[in-house]
Structure 1
Amino acid sequence: MSRSSAPTGSTGPTPPPREAQLSFDELGRPLRDLTFCVVDLETTGGSAAHGAMITEIGAVKVRGGEVLGEFQTLVNPHTSIPPFISVLTGITNTMVADSPGIESALPAFLEFAAGCVLVAHNAPFDVGFLRHFAAEQQRPWPRFEVVDTAKIARRVITRDDAPNCKLSSLAQVFGATTTPNHRALADARATVDVLHGLFGRLGSVGVQTLEELQTFSARVSPAQRKKRHLAEHLPHAPGVYLFRDDRERVLYVGTSRDLRTRVRSYFTASETRSRMGEMVRLASRVDHVECATPLEAQVRELRLIAEHKPRYNRRSRFPEKMHFIKLTREPWPRLSLVARVLEDDADYLGPFSSKKAAESCLSALHETFPVRQCTERLARRPSRTACVLAEMGKCLAPCDGSVDELSYAALVRRVRDTLLRRPDDVVETINHRMSLLAADERFEEAGTHRDRLASFVRAAARTQRLSALSACPEVVAARREDDGRWAVHVVRHGRLAGAGVIPPATDAHGYVDLLRAAAETVRSAPGPVPAASPEETEKILRWLESPQVRLVDVTGEWACPVAGAGGHLAVHDAVADSRRALERAGAATVAP
């Protein structure tokens, strides 16, 4: 594959180098250098959207463990405070009668908190109320970063420390100097002590910056965090990263639009997959391949996974394991399940990702077309005894002369047309069968036929889409990316042969000509199989079919049948989505 940002020695065009500037995410903002505004609210209810109002705002501004200032005000809710709220907080209607309304209190608080990181215990509640009233006043909400002490505590505090993560429980754990009592300022002061206590706990496991605090997970061990330096050499660019162990074996391959940020997340972010934690513990180096475009990165990822078969990648490791349905070329053709495509002029349907899906599709075809299912090669004039399938009317029985060559050939032509162009015969036959079964309340059998039909429709649509692109010697397409530059891809027989981004102030036609000249030479593959893995070609197809892609040039004919299987996909996708939703709902219902 050729690309614009090719390594030294490549003949591909190279864009001017981009200047790199460290972001806050890379540098990290030390917690000791940040100013935090710890806020707490008292309200008349649990939801501002349902009419609850703020009755008190309390806040404490701290930096480096030192209190810089405090803010406290009662707020007139302009409505009666429910008696149980008054009992809980001690705030009565009389107390707030002469207090400012939220229209005055909110601007004062926002001025106090300007430039700070907001902190609250159960932050979605407090910040949600503040944002609600800011929107109600048509006041722009400052771009506060928010720290939720309750969320962090749930990742740090164990049952041995406290029975729960309520503010009162945490205040006892960390020996807060103020006892929370459902008054805003007192609760804010207690939250300050809890915040500092959490900082102490987290500092011992290497959390020193706001970025690490916000992404902290107890499942990311100190040993993982100490390996952050493995990402320091990576660029802010799309590409592929490879984790290697001390024996140079590839452990894991991944891709990202931003290599450095993504790889750093394995050491500092909430990476909760246990196998990824195990992988990081074994890693001693991270290599990378910088790519011109995200699509090139996705394709390179697939190729590297197929090449190295990393133990911690679960998908795409064995693209060679495929299954096809073959309509044989012989005197009495049949449908056969095969593992690869040969240059034998036969017709193929697939590839299927699993043998089970291929067998389900084959059942749908056999139910529709009574072609023979025996595996022996029959002579042009066979003289054998018919099998039980013939007696059941599921085979025309060429073996005993029950059907002549012309009639059987006509049936085979219908099968070939179904595989390559029109799925109507299978769709109508299976739908009719499903209707009969449903009418007899044989719903389980109807479901089996539905699954067979879905397997067939998806396989036929996939075959038609892959075959159409694979047949094209070359497709060149471009799309304007978010940064305003044009990404260009050269696709040959379904394989990504070249990728690049047109540099600013560069002649676009000249750049595309250079990219095409430097692109990989690709020979066509037999049958419907692209010159790449089917997964690679499908990623290319999704990009080509995405909005705003412009075809620069097409060599050959890139087209799918008008009445092809793709027109039936929407129905089966909707059914599959509904089944998954029902399964999730059922799992949630029975969960303890």
Structure 2
Amino acid sequence: MNPFAFLANLGHKRTPLSDKQHRRLQRLPAPTPLDGRPLRKQRFVVLDLETSGLNLNRDIVLSIGAVLIEDGAIDFSRQFECTLQRQLKTVTESVLIHGIAPSALARGSEPAEALLAFMEFAGDCVFLAYHAPFDQRMLTRALKDELGYRLQHPFFDIADLAPMLFPEALMQRSGLDHWIDYFALNMPQRHHASADALATAEIALILFNRAQRMELNNVQQLGERLGHWRRSREASHRSI
């Protein structure tokens, strides 16, 4: 049973932004295009969201974890972690999804402020995420609902990049844990937004190293190869 299911029936009314928040929103930079800049020069933000469930239309973002990749390395001094303030009226289990207790949600940051601060952190980045379409849809809806902001940043899905670049792993539809084990990464903490973002960032660096050895030297080339790989995979599935 989803302990947050009742949230689907709660109407959401956007809290008006302050003048200061409006000015901050207007200052957010436009997203970077997928161009020919080298991968090492591209600014990536690795994103992981904890949500109340998997329904793209009803569930909500509970927390955000993000890690910055810049100059070809993880910048451990610049990470983002935030729990959003959510008022729960009914709780059916003492330990909730992802271990986020109702008290932590009650103490969280006001959603509009949290999302605005996150987009200031993200800047003009390219986003990376594991199963990126889900995070992209959830973040897009949250930003529209809370800020009236239209997310246009490009996303790359590590869940697709990994099997494309490492076909010898024979893992087409594997989870993040499988790739952590495959690359023998030491990740003592999991299933927490910031920890999962860090794990995804470590894998991304391995993938970028392999991409460059395959002469995929920028996000434009990587995106084109990924599109071709997806079309080939879909065609093979249809032929089965």
TM value normalised by structure 2: 0.73
Displacement of 1:61 in angstroms is 1.0
Partner of 2:191, secondary structure, is coil
- 8 Å CA contact retained: 2:82, 2:114: yes
Quote the Cα distance in structure 1 between the aligned partners of 2:171 and 2:158.
15
* Residue 149, structure 1, aligned to residue 158, structure 2: yes
Q: Which residue of 2 aligns with 1:56?
A: 63
Aligned AA (1:103): A
| 1:71–1:82 distance in 2 versus 1, CA, 3 Å | farther
Counterpart residue number, 2:41: 33
| Matches of 1:40 and 1:72, distance apart in 2 | 10
- Residues 124/47 of structure 1: CA separation in 2 closer, same or farther (3 Å cut): same
Name the structure 2 match of 1:127.
Answer: 136
User: Are 2:114 and 1:105 aligned?
Assistant: yes
Residue 201 of structure 1: CA displacement?
Answer: 2.1
User: Which residue number in structure 1 is paired with residue 182 of structure 2?
Assistant: 173
Matching residue of 2:148: 139
Residue 94 of structure 1 corresponds to 103
Instruction: Quickly say closer, same or farther: Cα 1:85–1:31, change in 2 above 3 A.
Output: farther
- Which structure: larger Rg? 1
- Aligned amino acid, residue 176 of structure 1: L
Instruction: Extract structure 1 runs of 4+ deviating beyond 6 A.
Output: none
Distance 1:59 1:112 in 2: 9
**Which residue identity lines up with residue 270 of structure 1 in the other structure?**
H
In structure 2, the partner of 1:8 is none
SS in 2 for 1:49: coil
Aligned mate of 1:75, from 84, 94, 100: 84
SS in 1 for 2:162: helix
Paired residue for 1:214?
A: 223
**Number of paired residues?**
199
Amino acid across the alignment from 1:194: I
Q: What CA distance in whole angstroms lies between the structure 2 residues aligned with 1:145 and 1:29?
A: 15
Which sections of structure 1, spanning at least 5 residues, go unmatched? 1-23, 218-268, 274-587
Kept after mapping to 2: 8 A contact 1:179/1:187: no
Please state how far the C-alpha of 1:195 moved relative to its aligned partner.
0.5
What does residue 205 of structure 1 align with?
A: 214
Distance 1:186 1:114, change over 3 A: same
**Aligned equivalents of 1:147, 1:41: Cα separation in 2:** 15
Map residues 497-536 of structure 1 onto 2, 5 A cutoff: none
- Say which SS state the counterpart of residue 198 (structure 2) adopts: helix
CA distance in 1, matches of 2:109, 2:129: 23
Report deviation, 1:122. Answer: 0.7
CA RMSD of aligned residues (A): 2.7
Q: Kindly provide the CA deviation profile for residues 12-71 of structure 1, in whole angstroms up to 9, marking residues without a partner as x.
A: xxxxxxxxxxxx77x612110011111101111112412x12211111111111415101
- Quick one: distance in 2 between partners of 1:152 and 1:201? 11
Q: 1:509-536, CA deviations, whole angstroms, 9 ceiling, x for partnerless residues?
A: xxxxxxxxxxxxxxxxxxxxxxxxxxxx
Verify the 8 A CA contact 1:150 1:166 in the aligned structure 2.
Answer: yes
Q: Distance in 1 between matches of 2:125 and 2:62?
A: 23
What SS does the aligned partner of 1:140 have? coil
CA distance in 2, matches of 1:44, 1:184: 13
Tell me, what secondary structure is at the counterpart of 1:39? strand
| Residue 191 of structure 2, aligned match among 155, 179, 182 | 182
For 1:46 and 1:173, the matched residues in 2 are separated by: 26
Task: State how far apart, in whole Å, the 2-side matches of 1:124 and 1:82 are.
Answer: 29
Distance 1:114 1:182 in 2: 26
1:191 to 196, 200, 204: 200
With over 3 angstroms needed to count, the CA separation of the structure-2 counterparts of 1:59 and 1:78, relative to structure 1, is: same
Given that 2:48 and 2:129 are in contact with CA atoms closer than 8 Å, whether structure 1 keeps it comes out as yes
Q: 1:33 to 1:177 in 2, by over 3 A?
A: farther
Contact persistence 2:56–2:134 (CA under 8 A): no
Amino acid at match of 2:55: S
- In structure 2, give the amino acid aligned to 1:97: A
Which residue identity is paired with 1:178?
Answer: M
How far apart are the structure 1 equivalents of 2:154 and 2:184? 27
| Paired residue type of 1:130 | L
Confirm whether residue 46 of structure 1 aligns to residue 4 of structure 2: no
Confirm or deny: 8 A CA contact 1:37 1:117 kept in the other structure.
yes
Pairwise CA distance, 1:121:
0.7
Q: Does 1:114 align with 2:123?
A: yes
Q: Given the superposition, is the C-alpha separation of residues 30 and 158 from structure 1 closer, same or farther in structure 2, using an over 3 Å criterion?
A: same
Q: Given the alignment of the two structures, is residue 270 of structure 1 paired with residue 215 of structure 2, yes or no?
A: no
| Change in 2 beyond 3 A, CA 1:32/1:105 | same
- Equivalent pair of 2:159/2:173 in contact (CA under 8 Å): no
Q: Which residue does 2:21 correspond to in 1?
A: none
Highest RCO, 1 vs 2 (Cα 8 Å, sep ≥ 6): 2
Task: Give the drift of 1:164.
Answer: 4.7
Report the identity percentage.
Answer: 26
- Deviation digits for residues 251-275 of structure 1 (CA, Å, limit 9, x no counterpart): xxxxxxxxxxxxxxxxxx61767xx
Q: Which amino acid aligns with 2:53?
A: G
Distance in structure 2 (CA, Å) of the matches to 1:138 and 1:85: 30
Amino acid at match of 1:122: H
In the TM superposition, what is the alpha-carbon distance from 1:175 to its structure 2 partner? 3.1
| 3-state SS of 2:85 partner | coil
Amino acid at match of 1:83: E
Cα distance in 1 for partners of 2:114, 2:104 equals 15
What amino acid sits opposite 1:128 in the alignment? R
Deviations 1:195-222 (A, max 9, x none): 01111222221111001111224xxxxx
Q: Which amino acid aligns with 1:41?
A: L
Counterpart residue identity of residue 29, structure 1: R
